[in-house]
Structure 1
Amino acid sequence: MQSVQKLVGGWNSTTWLVGVSSGDEPAQHVAKLADSEDGDAFRSGLRIASAAASRGFPSGAPIPTVDGCLAVDLPEGVLALLQYVPGRSPSAVSDDDMRRVGVTLARAHLAVGAESAGVSEQHRWPWTWADVCLQELPMASEIRDAAARALDEARDVTARISPRVGVVHGDPGLEAFRLRDESPHEDGLIDWAAAMQAPLLYDLASFAVMTRETPESLTSCLEGYRHVAPDISGELRYLDVFIRLRWMCHAIYFASRLERRIIRGAASEAENRERLAEAYVGLTKPVDPILRPA
């Protein structure tokens, strides 16, 4: 017996929870459909999730088809069947949850390491894809210039201080973490479609941006991250540089949605424009002192 339930949300794809009963062993999986134009990044994320899972990290890895493919092309897009990772989303106002998020993100970075072979060439640092997008996507000149400055600054800092570079999740929002209260060592991180090679600071900066309404979340997250990977401490003084880099990615993302007229994710064209304007503010205003770790 099978059951299919469409899951809510999803800015970048459409997902369904798939239940399968085989004898006395019921199982759950997640079917995920990405746009064909995003197929390269989607498949790259599937490869990274597979690598993480092979090292024991709960990543929502793809279940290969009978002929070994991680995804299949359909007229509607690119479809993959993923392992279901049980657990709950963390609470941004729980210090314990935020520490577990930091621990989980550090474990994820250790699991994938420098798995750059799974990342497409354009998504390896220093991100040639970003240059192309900033040249070709329609956006106001002041936004384009601010985004280009953020990219140049991140590249300059990386060349100067040589931070740890590896495969990053790329979009570590709260909904991507799966916390298992009965076994915290099995906390996981799913949805790797935005995975790229970059300084590992980028994921922490992304978390800071995505939890900006509760900025104190970052303090506990960093505490958990440093417990597993203390080497990050010396790099955190440059976190603001990568926060601006994250806002550059926001600008590119919402400019692309406007160009492609994408309104998935309970958004509208007006909201996409508002988010693009928000990205410009993030690129140009000083970083909140609370987001500047000592």
Structure 2
Amino acid sequence: MENIIETVDLTKRYSKAVALDSVSIHVRQGEIYGLIGKNGAGKSTLFKTMMGLAPYSSGEIKLFGSKSNKEIEHARQRMGFMMGAHFFPYLSARENLEYFRKLKGIADKAEVDRVLKLVEMDKVKKKFKSFSLGMKQRVSIANALMGYPDIVVLDEPINGLDPQGIADFRRIVQKLNKENKMTFLISSHILGELELMATRFGFIHDGKLIEEIDRETIRNKTEEKVIVKTNDIEKATYVLEQKFPNIEYQVNGDKELVISKMVEKTDEIASLLVSKELKLFKLVAQEISIQEYYLEMITKGGTDHV
């Protein structure tokens, strides 16, 4: 699959501080790429350099295969971008987007109404200054989607959205990705939400890109686990050790038994514990979350340690 965004050893220094440290990112056409990292990890700085909003110290940026400054400037016209909510406070959502439609050179006047309907802001008449944070985020997302860009870059787009707003955003992204073949590059520190929509992930920590990995590869590299909560954890561990001498487990902070590599024996585990007169308060097979994978990555220092 073709890379439509690529950076090569991209580095950004602020005096003695290094905001980006030799970052090489690859966003492929047609995917929903989730850039994951805590606040201050370098996500926004990467986006600013990528979009030409901030200079970089060294390295290279390629957009749609273009490398020269002139070609990259032209390529940026094929991109929608959201970073913060920078609009005129005394204008309505529609009036703000009408201004940006003209600024972007989009001839179709119906485009403003289309994107406002997508984010359910088409009936809002009041001025931008009176909007909630969630409403401002919706207008920012609508602005990024104007003109059917080939790729949409969104920096922390779900900040301030309520649960319904987050679900609606996810639906919009997945619909445009599937039906319009639109590529998305989305950053967030809310890992659980990106986990539900992204097809590929980049983990960034302290300015370094630790790993890029497909969702399916994460599933192949990690193991499911069985989580058991009983009325007698000591008896449960003894019973299981007698039945399964090679069992691998640990007890978490909630006094639950977390068993590795035995998802296929979940029913057998349940039957065994019940037969020994243990009460089962919880027994679930659980796949490792993106958040757990990310935390393991930054703790152990990269792919060589996973």
User: TM-score normalised by the shorter chain: which range applies?
Assistant: under 0.3
TM-score by length of 1: 0.22
TM-score normalized with structure 2 length: 0.21
Larger C-alpha radius of gyration, 1 or 2?
2
